[in-house]
Amino acid sequence: VVMDLMDKVTDIFRRGLSNSFYPVPQQAIGVGSAFEGWSPHAHDLVYRVLVPLSPPPGHAFQLELDTAGMLRRNACVRVQLLCTCTRGQLGDDMLCFLHHPEEELRRRQEPSLLHTLCTGAYLDVQKTVHWFHRFVRVAWLTLPESRHWCLRSQPSGRSCKFQLSKDKESFAIEIVFAVRQGDSDVFVGSQPAEAGILSTTWRETYAVAEAKFFRHVSRQAPRDSWHCKCLQLLARFQTGRGFSSYALKTVVMHLLNTLPPMQWRRGDFRQRLVDILKYLHHSLETKQLRHFVLGNASLPTEISLPSSFRAAEPPNLFQHLEISPHAHAEAVQEYIHLLRC
């Protein structure tokens, strides 16, 4: 239902904005626990979708990555104008933003992306979210689903959140916008970040690569594989005070990439839980948990990564435990809580 709805919305975008110079939404990609099959709270599902954005005609996106911190890299999306004087495929009516007088451009053509959703020369997250959010509310009224479902907006600054409900059925959708790095499965996205981050800052996200990994495992695994149930059970009892559910997910992904698929059957459930807890215990003792995507040379080849990723030094997700004894003590208590459950 969610992906069908997103396909219809993005199709309306492409048709409705064909003569404008806004970003072009591509096919949405389901990411996160609800689409990976291990969401711990069935009653409180959030279907997170990533919508890649392509530059409109006459524009190009150039990513400027901050490589100083490999764990949570920030990026800016610089918007550049391209010369279209000799590009007949764009249509005879399109004027070149670089070589036509400004007065003529204002009179005959929609403004460039630089004058709508940018701050300076950079694509602005909050302006992009506000633009898409406003358009979805209008586009929703044209869809047949609007006669049966109620769409409610949820407040959010760096993503679009909606609640869909019909009778007793209800679920949440969060739309995150992203720009692809080359032709890889790594993007820079608009996902929520810490307070005070600039609206022109986009965060590197590996959500698509991780979702593709879970799909790869599901294709290889036997029908009665319980790998998602292992993660779902542990995440359900994890409170999030000491370490995140993403840390648990990372541990399980490392084990899924190591143990043969046939060893995750229902009869192996107890042993796999023990393996996950042992791996987590070792990671807490050493205060080291390797990032799953960055620096992982053994990822399936169907997951496309930027050329430097597989040979990179994997960041440590537990680096904060090395720095803060208090954070480490909280993580240990969280681990003890999991054992007791």
Residue 28: predicted pLDDT: 95
The CATH class given to the 221-339 domain equals mainly alpha
Topology, domain 1-206: Beta Polymerase; domain 2 (3.30.460)
Q: What is the residue extent of each domain of the chain?
A: 1-206, 221-339
Residue 42: predicted pLDDT: 66
CA-nearest of 76, 22, 73 to 51 is 22
Letter for the amino acid at 207? A
Residue 18: predicted pLDDT: 75
Residue 43: predicted pLDDT: 65
| Cα separation values, 113 from 188, 197, 269, Å | 19, 22, 52
Residue 71: predicted pLDDT: 64
Residues 6+ positions from 147 with CB-CB distance below 8 Å? none
Residue 329: predicted pLDDT: 95
The 3-class SS string of 114-170 reads HHCCEECCEECHHHHHHHHHHHHHHHHCCCHHHHCCEEEEECCCCCEEEEEEECCEE
Walk along the chain (341 residues) and give the pLDDT tens digit of each residue: 889 989 998 889 888 877 789 999 999 999 999 999 998 876 668 899 999 999 999 999 999 988 765 566 899 999 999 998 876 545 557 889 988 888 888 888 889 999 999 999 999 999 999 999 988 888 898 999 899 899 998 877 899 999 999 888 888 999 999 999 999 999 999 987 677 789 999 999 999 999 999 999 999 999 999 999 999 999 988 877 888 999 999 999 999 999 999 999 999 999 999 999 999 999 999 999 999 999 999 999 999 999 888 888 899 999 999 999 999 999 999 999 999 87
Residue 208: predicted pLDDT: 97
CB–CB of 281/252 below 8 Å? no
Residue 205: predicted pLDDT: 94
